[in-house]
Chain A
Amino acid sequence: MTTVAGRDSAHDSQDGQDGRPTAFVDNDQKPCGHGRMLRKEDARFVRGKGRYVDDLQLPGMLHLAVLRSPFAHARIVSVDTTLAEAHPKVRLVVTGAALAEQGLAWMPTLSGDVQAVLATDKVRFQGQEVAFVVAEDRYAARDALELIDVEYEALDPVIDVRTALSPQAPVIRDDLEGKEDNHCFDWETGDAAETEAAFARADVVVTEDIVYPRVHPAPMETCGAVADYDAVDGRLTLWSTTQAPHAHRTLYAIVAGLPEHKIRVISPDIGGGFGNKVPIYPGYVCAIVGSLLTGKPVKWMEDRAENLISTGFARDYVMRGEIAATRDGRILAIRTNVLADHGAFNGTAAPVKYPAGFFGVFTGSYDIEAAYCKMTAVYTNKAPGGVAYACSFRITEAVYLVERIVDCLAYELGVDPVELRLKNFIRPEQFPYRSKTGWVYDSGNYAPTMELAKQLAGYDQLRAEQAEKRARGEVMGIGVAFFTEAVGAGPRKDMDILGLGMADGCELRVHPTGKAVVRLSVQTQGQGHETTFAQIVAEELGIPPQDIDVVHGDTDQTPFGLGTYGSRSTPVSGAAAALVARKVRDKARLIASSMLEVSVADLEWAKGSFRVTGDPEASVTIQDIAMRAHGAGDLPDGVEGGLEAQICYNPENLTYPHGAYICVVDIDPGTAKVTVRRFVAVDDCGTRINPMIIEGQVHGGLTDGVGMALMEMISFDEDGNCLSGSLMDYLIPTSLEVPDWETGFTVTPSPHHPIGAKGVGESATVGSPPAIVNAVVDALKPYGIRHADMPLTPSRVWEAMNGRPMPPI
């Protein structure tokens, strides 16, 4: 296992594999393969020529608006649409009752539950869809919503997850036959008895209640769609903000009863997804119904309030963490009990066998003896969701739990949190490492990553500075977090979404002149796939990345696959792109042998050409071979014309990137305002395809971390009113709340991945909240505080400093 370490900077272009610097390069001199390369996508975006869903205008297109419930829990007594239908610009008004007649009032969720498209019997969260209007323009559609008269009979809502299972709690899901409580599911992992025994042997046991509050991914572009049903051909085209166009197509086929070959889902440019755009929302289905009924294209584009109150939230885990250790700091076991708030419908996007996602990796980066988790998920009168916002299927929660509870242990033992972690790390020779909850970590070399972070941060000097500041009454904290991610879902025998195995297809076609097109099943939302997938193919085939077009997001034009979330693009689709290129190279080798009149065994590959061993003059380029493959010359026996291949890649395991983060905060003792002064992030995602893009991914994720740790929360009052329905209340970091990020990297390749690359996109969102909270708690050590819950707003930190820590729910 090799580890190369370095520091990122704006134009640092170490490719990570051999440390070869490629120096500053412009668009015309890009390295042919992995390495820093400017983005192909940027040309259109900086000119305002991107094409997002709401940019689409089709002839005769109508606009759809959704009427939403003002109540969290209420019976629908009547819906009167007479006035709305009389509006001169209104073409269609649809209620839940009308949808029920078509059998479309309910739809399956990605978790095998059902969700109301439009409420029929009652509403179950504030902001739930009750009716929709289709009108000639978007302003008229909104006007008409005001003309619909709905009579509600208010019911008591269930808001506090901790009382949802009490016998007195009103039953939210009385639509489910025989349902008499708000229980959603139970789940457990690990070995309870072994863990109990380890706890019994421990010198030190620390218990802490740790809440990961409800937050929201809030992509800058909200969700929306344009549905266009062609009654003559019976074809439905749906442009939509989806991260998983193929999976959506299959689900529409199942829900709407349309044949799958007559459905084309197009995910055009997406203005950020962050997991918000994985589920199917009622608005998409309404747009389809609207187009079916009017025979016209119908556009639905939600506003920010609708996005925040009704689409997929993230987190909302109430966790009790327990850690057992010896007096000298050897961690023996970790145990946790989780209460998960899933809202009114279980819409969690997770592989079927993993209702709690990959929360099972809560043992983190540590070699421990035993672990156990017991989880209960419940329904409440809130919007559905849970898995979103770069969580890698609940790993945000898992990493937050373990990194907080390890810090709580360091606090109790009075030891340095970095030293405690170094002492308990899984050692490099233990990989592949089977965790106590059954996850097989592919590779890792944790100590050098931690050491690099310490070095970049100047950790020892920071501790000295902190001691001086404390002596002067200043409040400064240093937080460390070390995480192991699990991304790249996943092996199809274990992982599927509603029966669809989590493999990804890839097709590569080399044109006669040696230019190429690669078609992906994954869907970028800003992660740079159009650039990096061209680089992967370029590295394997020696065709310059500028000569390779990347096609994605159109189900008619791309192979089937499960889409982009869970940082799975590089682990799964990236592997597919490399292997499909090698398949093309294998065929090219056969053609080259006939062109050079030697046996294939006499050929060696020099990126971009085959040459005869021992005779470097005798060679043919991949471009020469492409022309021969399509030309009139002879091809070897059994070799078909053309130069193309396809593949469906089934990963044998997830990839397990890791990272060491160090955060420095200053707290104003007069106002309790927390300032993130520095943040050092060292990530190891194996082979680095494009360091510039990785750095940008990390910066974005670190900013998410500042938001979650210090600012963001979706909160409710006791009546179930969502108090965070706009950017006035749901606070997202601006340029003033974040520091200039300091990043570095180590390289520990994934042994099972064709190019050794691991996913990375969500690492920073996963790893940064615990680093920031650990820093704040570290700053508050003189106040005797061992834990404080996010978001650490000035008022909440103030309360903690004054001995009144507040739980966030």
Chain B
Amino acid sequence: MTRMQVTMTVNGDEVTREIEGRLLLVHFLRDHLALTGTHWGCDTSNCGTCVVWLDGEPVKSCTVLAAMAGGHEVRTVEGLAGPGGQLDAVQRGFVECHGLQCGFCTPGMMMTARALLDRNPDPSEPEIREAISGQICRCTGYATIVRSVRWAAAEEAGTRTEQPADELASGPGGVS
């Protein structure tokens, strides 16, 4: 198998590796860089547990060749927290609102949520559901993920109240 050299920026650090041309980005991150927060949950590009950013855009890293990321910037869940290790508002939202259980879909979900909030700081519940609709979670039933993203949005807008639950809790009527 022909090998090639690839150089890319991952979470701000430039990395260069010898790889096979067919290597998937998800395996490059996990097996070659030991960034195992990004997961692999299906073979058909449906589940989104592998979502990372490529030049600021969420992509399914199981559907990108590592070679294609050469010369580009990749950001993974390990690069989500601030320089001092302080958690991003999205990460805190997932903790505060119980937006995760087994944690397997969580890194991908948070990367998408962060990208959404960067573009739309005040997304509605349908907008959040649309944004994460390319990703599957088996544990949470999604409602608490939606709350988590709303929590982060409110936190960043400075509009989160002491009892944020009141505005985020499910009420009668739900969403049709």
A interface residues (Cβ-Cβ under 8 A, vs B): 9-12, 24, 38-39, 41-52, 54-55, 57, 137-139, 218-222, 269-272, 274, 303-305, 456-458, 525-528, 666, 675, 677-679, 692-693, 695-703, 726-728, 732, 734-736, 738-743
Contacts and interface: CB of A to CB of B under 8 A. Distances in A.
B139 A272 contact: yes
Contact of A741 (B91, B95, B139, B141): B141
The 4 closest A-B pairs by CB, nearest first: A48-B37, A526-B102, A11-B165, A45-B103
Contacts of B172: 456-458, 678, 742
B102 to A, nearest CB: 3
A701 B125 CA distance: 21
A726 B169 CA distance: 34
25 contacts: A24-B162, A24-B164, A44-B103, A46-B94, A47-B87, A55-B36, A138-B27, A138-B31, A139-B23, A218-B138, A219-B104, A220-B39, A220-B138, A269-B103, A304-B47, A526-B103, A678-B172, A693-B98, A697-B101, A726-B43, A727-B46, A728-B46, A739-B176, A741-B170, A743-B170
Nearest to A305: B43
A41 B140 contact: no
B51 to A, nearest CB: 12
B143 A11 contact: no
A38 B142 contact: no
A48 B78 contact: yes
Given A526-B104, A727-B47, 13 more contacts: A43-B95, A46-B103, A55-B30, A138-B31, A220-B138, A457-B172, A525-B102, A666-B176, A678-B173, A678-B174, A702-B141, A732-B138, A735-B146
Given A47-B81, A740-B170, A11 B102 contact: no
Contacts of B138: 218-220, 272, 274, 700, 703, 732
A272 B142 CA distance: 15
Nearest to B136: A732
A271 B104 contact: yes
Nearest to B176: A677
A728 B44 CA distance: 7
Given A272-B104, A699-B141, A11 B136 contact: no
A456 B77 CA distance: 39
Interface string B16-27: 000010110001
A735 B123 CA distance: 15
A52 B165 contact: no
A457 B170 CA distance: 13
B100 interface: yes
A696 to B, nearest CB: 5
Nearest to B41: A220
B47 A45 contact: no
B31 A57 contact: yes
Interface residues of B, number: 76
Given A24-B163, A734-B135, A52 B39 contact: yes
Contacts of B104: 50, 52, 219-221, 271-272, 526
B42 interface: yes
B145 interface: yes
B103 A271 contact: yes
Nearest to A10: B165
Given A11-B165, A42-B100, A45-B106, A54 B133 contact: no
Given A42-B100, A666-B176, A699-B144, A271 B162 contact: no
A271 B175 CA distance: 28
Interface string B125-165: 10011101111111111111111000000000000001111
B35 interface: yes
B8 interface: no
Contact of A696 (B91, B110, B135, B139): B139
Contacts of B136: 220, 727, 732, 734
Contacts of A41: 103
A48 B41 contact: no
Contacts of A692: 98
A49 B81 CA distance: 12
A480 B31 CA distance: 49
Contacts of B10: none
Given A48-B77, A272-B139, A741-B170, A11 B100 contact: no
Contacts of B43: 303-305, 726
A393 B10 CA distance: 46
Contact of A703 (B110, B141, B162): B141
B76 interface: yes
Contacts of B96: 38
Contacts of B132: 734-735
B168 interface: yes
B61 interface: no
B105 interface: yes
A742 B91 contact: no
Contact of B143 (A49, A138, A305, A741): A741
A44 B105 CA distance: 13
Contact of B169 (A9, A44, A526): A9
A11 B20 contact: no
B91 A9 contact: no
A9 B146 contact: no
Contacts of B164: 10-11, 24
Contact of A740 (B35, B77, B78, B146): B146
A217 B101 CA distance: 16
B91 A46 contact: yes
A736 B78 contact: no
A726 B136 CA distance: 13
A696 B174 contact: no
Given A48-B107, A728-B46, A735 B142 contact: yes
A48 B94 contact: no
Given A55-B30, A139-B22, A696 B101 contact: yes
A754 B143 CA distance: 33
Nearest to B24: A139
B144 A696 contact: yes
Contacts of A526: 101-104, 139
Contacts of A735: 128-130, 132-133, 135, 142, 145-146
Interface string B110-132: 10000000000000010011101
A437 B60 CA distance: 51
A431 B147 CA distance: 39
A10 B154 CA distance: 15
Interface centre among A54, A677, A735 (most CB of B within 10 A): A735
B53 interface: no
Interface centre among B87, B101, B169 (most CB of A within 10 A): B101
B3 to A, nearest CB: 12
A44 B46 CA distance: 25
Contacts of A743: 170
A11 B167 CA distance: 10
Interface centre among A48, A218, A678 (most CB of B within 10 A): A48
A695 B37 CA distance: 26
Nearest to A734: B133
B74 interface: no
Given A45-B106, A46-B91, A220-B49, A679 B174 contact: yes
A220 B102 contact: yes
A527 B141 contact: no
A61 B159 CA distance: 50
Contacts of A139: 1, 20, 22-23, 27
Nearest to A666: B176
B47 A220 contact: yes
A46 B100 contact: yes
A740 B144 contact: no
A735 B175 CA distance: 11
A39 B168 CA distance: 19
A553 B145 CA distance: 27
A47 B78 contact: yes
Given A47-B37, A218-B138, A727-B47, A740 B133 contact: no
A42 B174 CA distance: 27
Contacts of B37: 47-50
Contact of B39 (A11, A221, A677): A221
